[in-house]
Structure 1
Amino acid sequence: MKIVMFGLKGIPFTAGVEVMVEELGSRLVKRGHDVTVLVRPHYTPRSLTEYRGMHLVHLPSIPTKNFDAISHSFLSVFKSVSLNPDVVHIHSTGNSIFSFFPRWFGIPTVVTSHGLDWQRAKWGKLARWYLKMTDFTTCIFPTATVVVSRRLQTYYHEHYGRSATYIPNGASQVNRIPPDEIKKYGLAGNDYILFASRLVPEKGCHYLLEAFQKLDTPLKLVIAGDDNTDREYIKLLKKLAPPNVIFTGFIKGKLLEELLSNAYLYVLPSEIEGLSVGLIEAMNYQNCVLVSDISENMEVIGNAGMTFKNKSVADLMEKMTYIVNNPKYVEEQRHASYQSIQSRYNWEEVADQYEQLYTSIQRSH
């Protein structure tokens, strides 16, 4: 089967959609499928034309906040049709408006909704209106609609009366590794709290910094992440940060693996999510986790970890204080986190479900 995917920045990358495409696409290649991923050259080096068996095709875009994704997807939909695939797989709701075009040419299309993008704080009124409108096209235009969380499945059913196929993200088998590169930050292991995500307002890092300021602990706080679209927000975070906060910037590879392997606690205070790949990975690395009590985060953690009231600095500080003062609880939660993820999120099962979906829409198209 020949599959073309677009609607992401590029691979290899450590963000949610990009991780999903990399893990899914590489597994489909191993099963004998031909997978082409359309990428943006300012995220993927032009010299990289193949990765983990997937063909990478570079298409330009207008690299601004409002036009980067949509300009790339506009070119991608024409390119995808020219490649004459068996299935076109489009990622993110904002790109769903293009999914009718391959169908005109008799090509089945899948759109995966990774979250409700219009809820993100960075968008202005016009962009937010457009993204909210594409919730509707996500349900109507493609041959099949996929969602990564049960909450999204309920949302599309309640608002548009449409059934979406639930296929979550997955987790790979990983090995925890001892501290090495993180020593350059003065970290020895088990001596820091970790936040690893994009530095945008909806991820709630400002709540974490405000709570950490009031926390009586020798632990450091590591903020691992960056975002080129909101530099003012990052400046605000650095103003809020006391001296024992470490900003690593964007990281990946061994350094990220070390941070995930050796944290005392992982905190995700996000206001909105689709299904957090970062949270899944943190739990997969046997971390005790503390997350905001939004339904998407609660869906991921299951019976493991602890929650605090969304946007409440006071409740976040109270829960952090308990966890910091109870290392026995942390050790218990490490095992619970790992078991919770391994029992529910598996990339091989994700690949099975997509493979079955592609086959079924080919037959019915």
Structure 2
Amino acid sequence: MKIAVLGTRGVPAAYSGFETCAEQVGKRLAGAGHTVIIYCRRGRTATAGPTYLGMRRVLAPCIRSKGLETLTHTICSSLRALAIDRPDAALVEPAQIPYGAEIDPQAGTRALERFGLRPGSYLLAVGRLVPENGFHDLIAGYARARLTTPLVIVGDAPYAASYKRRLRKLAPPGVVFTGYQFGAAYQELSAHALAFVFGASVGGTHPVLVEQLAHGNYVIARWTESNQEVAGDAAAYFHQPDELAGRLRELGIERPALQAARDRSRARARRYSWQTVTDQYEQVLAQLVSPAAASKHATATRSGSPRQG
């Protein structure tokens, strides 16, 4: 199949969960023999050539505005796809398929040294700095817990200047804002945290939550149905900042129990695999092209050898 991926900032992934999904699924689809075209925005991805991990990169224009950038880029990409590239199927938004996780089992500590951190001695929060991700509540809970353990906030947002100013005003000493961190730096910060705190209140499966479970981190998450569905009993939950403060204070007296919690996180994460996710997307896309072909693919996947990845 020739598959177009639209609506992302492009690859290499450097922004959100959909970009990560596009990269992880796209490279595996390309490895399986499909032609994968990903439409990228100029200046929104790290420098890369016309191909990346087997995927073809096509730059399409957009209007740089919070309300128009994604819309105009998707329209331009769609017109290009219809007129020139002519894919068999297109992926515009993630289907109702869970995300996967990919971790570095030998993550170093260079990023920790850059921010003055010690392994196992900081709390981690990751995400776009927007209100729906609840960083104001994470900071409020951390402040009320009166911990000496740093809270490291990894992330940024291009159109949220007022909210970022609000967060910095709320933040007590001990909060470290790192900005965006990707690749090895993100892996290192994730691999060596004492615990991961997660405040998102909307959305389905959040890739960062899956990734932190895979790292074996003790997870303290805002209770929502979707967060509970992803993390299950591998996480502790909170509703309000005061409840989060209590959860954070417990870390100081329950450290012997952390290893059991880490084991639960890793066990929970095993149900998420990028190759399984790719197989499901491949079947959905094949169904769009040819229902009969999709049925044959599903039969072959069940009866053949499992793919590695």
Shared fold (TM-score greater than 0.5)?
A: yes
RMSD: 1.5
Answer whether contact 1:176 1:285 (CA < 8 A) is retained. no
Residue 216 of structure 1: how far off its partner (Å): 3.2
Partner of 2:80: 79
Aligned to 1:10: 10
- Measured after TM superposition, the shift of residue 178 of structure 1 is 3.8
Name the amino acid aligned to 2:53: R
Unaligned runs of 5+ in 1: 92-111, 113-145, 148-166
Contact 1:199 1:233 in 2 (8 A): yes
TM-score (norm. length: structure 2): 0.90
Cross-structure match for 1:355: 282
- Which residue does 1:222 correspond to in 2? 152
- Letter of the aligned partner of 2:27 in structure 1? S
After superposition, the Cα gap between the structure-2 partners of 1:356 and 1:56, relative to the gap in structure 1 and judged at 3 Å, is: same
CA distance in 2, matches of 1:252, 1:81: 33
- Partner residue in 1 for 2:55: 54
Quote the Cα distance in structure 2 between the aligned partners of 1:33 and 1:266: 37
Deviation string, structure 1 residues 282-333 (Cα, Å, up to 9, x no partner): 1111100000011111111022111111xx1111111111133211222211
Residue 191 to residue 47, structure 1, CA distance change in 2 (3 Å): closer
Alignment-mate amino acid for residue 290 of structure 1: I
AA aligned opposite 1:307: Y
Q: 1:47 to 1:170 in 2, by over 3 A?
A: closer
Residue number in structure 2 paired with 1:188: 118
Q: 1:45 to 1:337 in 2, by over 3 A?
A: closer
* Distance in structure 1 (CA, Å) of the matches to 2:51 and 2:108: 31
- 2:306 maps to what in 1? none
- Provide the C-alpha distance between the structure 2 equivalents of 1:357 and 1:241, rounded to a whole number of angstroms: 45
Deviation at 1:335, TM superposition (A): 1.1
Answer yes or no: is the 8 Å Cα contact 1:194–1:267 preserved in 2: yes
User: C-alpha offsets along residues 205-246 of structure 1, whole Å, 9 cap, x if unaligned?
Assistant: 110111111213221110111001111100111111112111
**What is the letter of the counterpart of residue 319 of structure 1?**
R
Displacement after TM superposition at 1:173 (Å): 5.1
Report deviation, 1:259. Answer: 0.5
The 5 Å alignment of 1:208-219 reads 208-219=138-149
Equivalent-residue separation in structure 1 for 2:98 and 2:192 (angstroms) = 26
2:68 counterpart of 1:67? yes
Query: How many residue pairs get matched?
Result: 290
- The one-letter amino acid of 1:51's match is Y
Residue 49 of structure 1 and its aligned partner are, at CA, apart by 1.7
Distance in 2 of aligned mates of 1:297 and 1:356? 26
- In the alignment, structure 1 residue 315 sits paired with structure 2 residue 225: no
Unaligned runs of 5+ in 2: 293-309
Quick one: which amino acid aligns to residue 68 of structure 2? F
Secondary structure at the residue paired with 1:302? helix
Q: Secondary structure at the match of 1:198?
A: coil
Matched, 1:280 2:210: yes
Contact 2:103 2:211 in 1 (8 A): no
Contact 1:323 1:329 in 2 (8 A): no
Question: TM-score scaled to structure 1, two decimals?
Answer: 0.77
Partner of 2:258: 330
Is 1:234 aligned with 2:164? yes
Q: Does structure 1 conserve the Cα–Cα contact (< 8 Å) formed by 2:42 and 2:59?
A: yes
Deviation for aligned residue 1:176: 4.5
Structure with higher RCO (Cα < 8 A, 6+ apart): 2
Q: Is the 8 A contact 2:221 2:236 kept in 1?
A: yes
Matched position secondary structure for 2:74: helix
Local SS of the residue matching 1:214: helix
How far apart are residue 47 of structure 1 and its match? 5.2
